[in-house]
Amino acid sequence: MSVIPPYSFELFPPRTPAGWEKLPGLIKSLSTAKPEFFSVTYGAGGSDQEGTYDTLMKVVDECGIEAAPHLTCVGSSRAKIGELLDRYKSAGVRRIVALRGDLPATAQSNEAPGDFHYANELVEFIRERHGNHFQIEVAAYPETHPQANSVDTDFDAFVRKAQAGADSAITQYFFNADAYFDFAERCAKAGLKLPIIPGIMPITNHAQLTRFSAACGAEIPRWIRLRLELLKDDKDAIVDFGTDVIARLCENLIAGGAPGLHIYTLNQADPTLAILGRLRPA
Ligand code: FAD
């Protein structure tokens, strides 16, 4: 069996008081798997900056593992992003996931309102302002970003983020390992050296997965969709099936040379730990 590469876990700021109460326990459970770092989303699902900051600080307080905020630039100004970067630097943050963010539903084009139009401009700004202080992660789309004009223009946009100074990339989730290998090969042919870390989505809830996948352009293969339809509301059976599917995907990715894994935990420890448990040699 191949050696398991480093992995990281993604959290979102809790949306309810009960979620905040559970957060320390969640972080503690996940930290037992010794991830390289936690990342904390921003803006997705309506979370605000304080939510991201407070979640970040909870990670540091509870387990001392590195925590990286996601930073989106859509609709923001250079001054505001500059202040946020300064705040993160003062708080000891060394890694940032730099993103454009999703456009408002009313947007007429793929260009974001505000001082930054695309994520490559945010990466440039962070480098200009803070040199190499931050390790910068950017997003990659093996199945192509849903609003991209074409596969090629989307890949060119990714190359611009790498050239602007990204250190590493985390992909949107996917269920077809070949999409990842094809993307990684394209990057190698283009001379890009940055590691491309596959984003891994546990399967725990059919309706939620269908909703997320429609929004972010991830394809659910027909056989997975049909099996989930068959399992209906049998939560345990869905989690068992999902763990099998995702553990096998991770094994294929690792065997094919993926340099790491980034798991979208959905703020649940068990599915992530179950997947990783399968990967550990007995
Ligand atoms: P970009 O790389 O700027 O690309 C956006 C689109 O513009 C693409 O279609 C691209 O092809 C196109 N494009 C780029 N440059 C040009 C150009 N010069 N001309 C024309 N078209 C261009 N969202 C959140 O709100 N909060 C989060 O915390 C969050 N975390 C994420 C984490 C990961 C790992 C991933 C993969 C996504 C995350 N997202 C998050 C979603 C992300 O914000 C959206 O997918 C967003 O629509 C694109 O962000 P980006 O940084 O990839 O943008």
Q: Residue 48's pLDDT is what?
A: 82
| Average pLDDT value for residue range 48-74 | 95
Closest CA to 10 of 72, 56, 75, 49: 56
Q: Which protein residues are within 6 Å of ligand 1, measured from CB?
A: 41-44, 70, 72, 97, 99-102, 110, 118-119, 139, 145, 147-148, 153-154, 157, 161, 170, 172, 199
**135 vs 139: CA distance, rounded Å:** 14
Closest CA to 125 of 174, 50, 73, 189: 73
Q: pTM score, two decimals?
A: 0.97
Work out the mean pLDDT of the chain and round it to a whole number. Answer: 95
> Are β-strands 168-173 and 196-200 bridged in parallel, bridged antiparallel, or unpaired?
parallel
Q: Over pLDDT 70: what percentage of the chain? A: 97
Q: Indicate if 50 belongs to the active site.
A: no
1: pLDDT strictly greater than 90: no
142-152 pLDDT, tens digit per residue, is 999 999 999 99
Q: How far is the CA of 61 from the centre of ligand 1 (A)?
A: 30
Instruction: Name the residue with higher pLDDT: 39 or 47.
Output: 39
Q: Residue 282's pLDDT is what?
A: 43
| Average pLDDT value for residue range 198-219 | 96
116: pLDDT strictly greater than 70: yes
Q: For residue 134, name the pLDDT band (cuts at 50, 70, 90).
A: very high
Instruction: Dig out the tokens for 116 from the structure.
Output: 């930054």
Q: How far is the CA of 21 from the centre of ligand 1 (A)?
A: 31
